[in-house]
Every structure is written in structure tokens, then in C-alpha cells.
Structure 1
């Protein structure tokens, strides 16, 4: 494992993490109607911290291999998209636009996972929890929007 690569990719995760800290759910989100299966608020930072580590491990493994520049470019795209969601959903309170962003993120994560898997099975597997969590987040975003269209 190239630890410098790992920490470089982990550093790239600072942007979406910072956006999540800058644009917190707050009273506006608390007062919205949410589906019964909404995860508790404390779970989000725990899961994201775990995911940032696993996606950075996956990227460091793939980046160490020859011929993986496109796969790493996909990783860069998905982390850039991930940086947008909190500001749009919580900051601008644009639930539908947030849904479009997170749907785009889901596609970018899926493409990245397939690209990583084609080079290194472990790296592909390391992105599976990320795709699952983004799937939950996508469903939650659209459910909250649907339950609160008048507030949107």
C-alpha cells in the first residue's frame, strides 16, 4: 500500500466533508416530514468517515496499478459531485436539485466501482458500501422531497 497515495485521496475527501460540516441539517431539515426508515442523525458522520477511508483505500490501490488513469478520473468526478450535495440540499434548500445531484453521484460511484473492480477486485468491493449508502441517501432525498413538496 502506498500510504502517500492513500492520504492524498483522503485529503480529497476534505471537500465533501467540509461541505457537510458547513451546511448542516438544522431546524429546517428537522421540521420536514421524513420517512419512518430515516437513519438517525448521529449515523451520517460515522458512515461518511468510514466511507471516506474505504474509498481512499480503494483509490490508492488502483492508482498504484498501471493503466488506471481513467478509473482514477472517475474517482475524481464522483468526489467532486459528492462535494455539491450538502450545499444544495441543506444550504440552498433545493431538495429536487439535491435529488438530481445525488442521482448523478450514484451513477458516478457505480461507474467508478465497475472501473476499479476491473483493475482490482478488492478495490471494487471496497466501494460497495459507498454505493449502498448513496442508494439509501438517494431514496431518502427523493422521499423527503416527495413528503415536503409544498416546502420545496
Structure 2
């Protein structure tokens, strides 16, 4: 039987990443407002709902992979390592971009985040197809966010 905390861990880590993103480093601060923004920047109100849904999907993916790891699925342990890597990079991006105002460093982090999500998705699809497909919107949004990060870096 899978220990409850192992199933709960992905949800707790997603909440921690979300808190680092939205509460500790709010996006709409004066520094961010002073930046030259690309024309395709979405409205600020969109980020909260999108990330709420994405964090839930990321957590469900992690919990499904934890179940597979508990049942001894071969690649599941590796997939959980990739899951931990992507949630760590996810949590690092916000303080780098909004806290340190380091647009270039944030671009490097989001590039590594994109690679980790792609690797996780490819691995998860081999273990639990639903877990893998739950990451597709996340990969799409991070792709857009990377282009947005690049545009901010280029314009500022």
C-alpha cells in the first residue's frame, strides 16, 4: 500500500512552488510595471488561473508516478527524479525573474525547465499515459513563457 505522505508530497511541493511564485514574489510590482513589455504579453489576471490549473495537473502527474514507483515500475523512480527537478526549476524561476530582476538568468532557468518537462513527459508517457499527457498544457505554457521571458530580456 502506498504511504499517504508519498501521494501527498507532489501536492505539497506544487503548493510550495505556487507560493514562491505568487505570494513571495508578486508579478505586478513596480519593477515589472516599469519594464518594456512585448506586444503579446497576456493580461496579468490570466496568470493566476492558468497556473492554478497547471499546478494541479503537475501534482496529479507526480502522484500517479509515485503510485507507479510504489508498485515497482522500472522508470518511475527516474520519472520522480525528473518531476522533482522540474518543480525545483519552476520554483527558482520566479525569484530569479521577479526577485533578482535577472532576466537572462531566468531565461536560462526556463530553458532548463522546458527541457526537464519534455524529458519528464517523454518518460511519464512510457509509465502512465495520463500522467504524461497531463504535462502537455504545462509544456505549452512554459514554451510561451520562455518566449515571453526572452522578449522581456531582449526589450530590457
Q: What TM-score does the superposition give when structure 1 sets the normalisation length?
A: 0.91
Mapping for residues 46-125 of structure 1, pairs under 5 Å = 46-65=49-68, 66-67=73-74, 68-125=76-133
Partner of 1:17: 18
Tell me by how many angstroms 1:73 deviates.
0.7
Tell me by how many angstroms 1:39 deviates.
1.1
Q: CA RMSD in A?
A: 1.7
Equivalent pair of 2:96/2:105 in contact (CA under 8 Å): yes
| Structure 1: gaps spanning 5 or more residues | none
Tell me by how many angstroms 1:138 deviates.
0.4
Q: Larger deviation: 24-33 or 88-97?
A: 24-33
Runs ≥4 residues deviating over 6 A: none
Q: What secondary structure does 2:62 align onto?
A: helix
Paired positions, count: 148
Give the counterpart of 1:27 among 30, 48, 51: 30
Equivalent pair of 2:7/2:67 in contact (CA under 8 Å): no
1-structure distance, mates of 2:8, 2:53: 14
Partner of 1:36: 39
Equivalent pair of 1:6/1:56 in contact (CA under 8 Å): no
Q: Larger deviation: 136-145 or 63-72?
A: 63-72
1-structure distance, mates of 2:100, 2:65: 35
Tell me by how many angstroms 1:7 deviates.
3.0
| Structure 2: gaps spanning 5 or more residues | none
Task: Report Cα offsets for 1:2-33 as digits up to 9, x if no partner.
Answer: 97654321101123212112112201111211
